[in-house]
Amino acid sequence: MRYLGQLACFALFLFTALYPITGSTILNGEDVRARLIFEAFRRAFPDRISSLEFKDEEWTAVIDGTRFFWAHGRILPEKEREKWASYRQHVFIAYPDQPKDPRSYSPERIAALREQGDAEARLNGDDHHPAFRAALYGGARRGGAESNLVKVLLFDRMVSVHKRIVQPIKKVNAAVSAAAKHDKETAIFLSSIGSLGAYNWREIRGTTRRSLHSWGLAVDVQPQRTRSKIMFWEWERDRNADWMLVPLKDRWAPPAAVIAAFEKEGFVWGGKWDFYDTMHFEYRPELQEMKKVLSAIGNPGVQKDEQASVFPGGKEALPAAR
């Protein structure tokens, strides 16, 4: 793709300063793509990823002694790297500053979103290999995931979250509580919360992939009443084929202070996805790290008619881990 060449040109210079490359390795566009993604993960999870190495013509990351290869847009353990065609490519979203106005969607983009949102297509399509996320977060099975859970106070409710995000959640709680003292909208938000959930061992609705809720790395905040506002694209799709065109003003959203508090601590808000989920926050610090690099190089990955997908494996932009 055109912008990958641009990215390779810009990012190679940036990596020289940020991420020194040992030896005489010559990187092409795909190598830079893999290196940026792995580097973002390492900077976000330095205690989990022990090393990065260019090995057997591919970038690799090591977690607890297991080496994962970047194989044609898939992150695979060594024994699976030759079976890359059996797995779905990863889509890394360039986390935007603001939700995209659906009035800007081209007819082609609308058609693509409608096709990608088809429940049967989502369920029956190829899936990502689960090993990398299981190793990164700890727990391929329910028991392993639950061994990492800790209860923490958030918005006057106790929730079970991954131990990694206990401090980020405490900081979010403190920031929102402080904002509520002088911001009426935030105060009303806190007083009108209907439910708040975090850990829930389950698959992403309509797929066979594990939700980040399964590791306690996502939080859903629902109000007592939405006053006819729309929160989740899939609920809306069940009654409205043009779910992607719901105006931003008709979608429920937490106050800006709440969104900012979560984002500052490494979370992303589902209201900024094309497949919007405005109740949902998930811990994705690697996307924030990618955003830093893309901002430094002018974000050449943004295309006019797409959600800003960084190095997409195809032109899909499904939510990463609802």
Distance of CA 171 to the CA centre of its chain: 20
Q: What is the pLDDT of residue 293?
A: 75
Q: What is the pTM of this model?
A: 0.85
Q: How far is CA 3 from CA 105, 222, 303, in A?
A: 20, 38, 8
pLDDT in tens, 127-145: 788 899 999 999 888 999 9
Average pLDDT rounded to a whole number, residues 87-91: 84
Interatomic CA distance for residues 147 and 197, integer angstroms: 18
Highest mean pLDDT among 27-41, 89-103, 223-237: 223-237
Q: What is the pLDDT of residue 69?
A: 97
Using the CB atoms, write b or e for 156-181: b if 16+ within 10 Å. eeebebbebbeebbebbbebbeebbe
> For residue 297, what pLDDT band results from cuts at 50, 70 and 90?
low
Domain boundaries of the chain, sorted by first residue: 98-285
Q: Is the pLDDT of residue 168 over 60?
A: yes
> For residue 32, what pLDDT band results from cuts at 50, 70 and 90?
confident
Where helices occur in the chain by DSSP H, the ranges are 2-18, 29-44, 107-116, 119-124, 131-137, 142-146, 166-180, 184-191, 233-237, 256-264, 285-296
